[in-house]
Amino acid sequence: MQFHIPFDLMGMVCASLFGKALTHDHLRMPADVLDARLYRSLERIRHTASSIEPTNLLLDSWALILAETFLLRLSSHGERNGHGPFGKLPARGIARVVDYIEDGIDHDLRLSSLATVAGMSTYHFARRFQETVGMSPHSYVLGRRIERAGALLRRRDVPLVDIALACGFSSQSHLTTVFRRCLGVTPGEYRRRAVI
């Protein structure tokens, strides 16, 4: 498999993970690398990407996961232990992020934008959000989108395509795919059951 991680992203993750700058000399790239953890991460991403339409938030999260895995396995910094748990986000910081998500739920949010609202690096934010909320930023945003879609579906006067766009899905079919995967029913079935 081949993949590309921008060097500046790896540098940011390296600084967050090890507290050290990354140079090309710190990377070890032996020929024909066989790394089971890296391979499993790439396979999971490939499988998920083939079954859903990934959002920017999900793509950003995957890039962080790959950068971290790559650095831990194939950099000289990875020989040393990285940081332990990063701790939780302060209540004020999480409230600002949640407000930002609610205000922008209809947009394709970026992990870096959420991190900026929280006032920290993208890597630290992703880790601390997970420890605070108990799920990744992508999972949280997806859950909020599904909840908002459910509320709008209970109103019969709103067309499905409008609900999809109001909740940050790229199309009605994207809403249907995600809704079915998360709740086990299509939006139309959900609407019929909710109205009865």
State pLDDT tens for residues 23-35: 877 777 665 667 7
Report if residue 85 sits inside a domain.
no
104 & 156 share domain = no
- Are 71 and 40 found together in one domain? yes
The whole domain housing 16 covers: 7-79
Core vs surface per residue 46-81: b (16+ CB within 10 A) or e? eeeeeeeeebebbebbbbbbbbbbbbbebbebbeee
> Residue 2: inside a domain, yes or no?
no
Contact present, 195 and 156 (Cβ < 8 Å) = yes
Examine residue 36 and state whether it is found in any structural domain, yes or no: yes
Whether 95 has a pLDDT exceeding 90, the answer reads: yes
Residues 101, 104, 105, 107: is their CA dihedral positive or negative? negative
9-13, 39-43, 151-155: which has the minimum mean pLDDT? 39-43
Residue 38 has pLDDT above 80, yes or no: no
Q: What is the pTM of this model?
A: 0.76
Same-domain check for residues 72 and 21: yes
Q: Which H helix or E strand runs over 28?
A: none
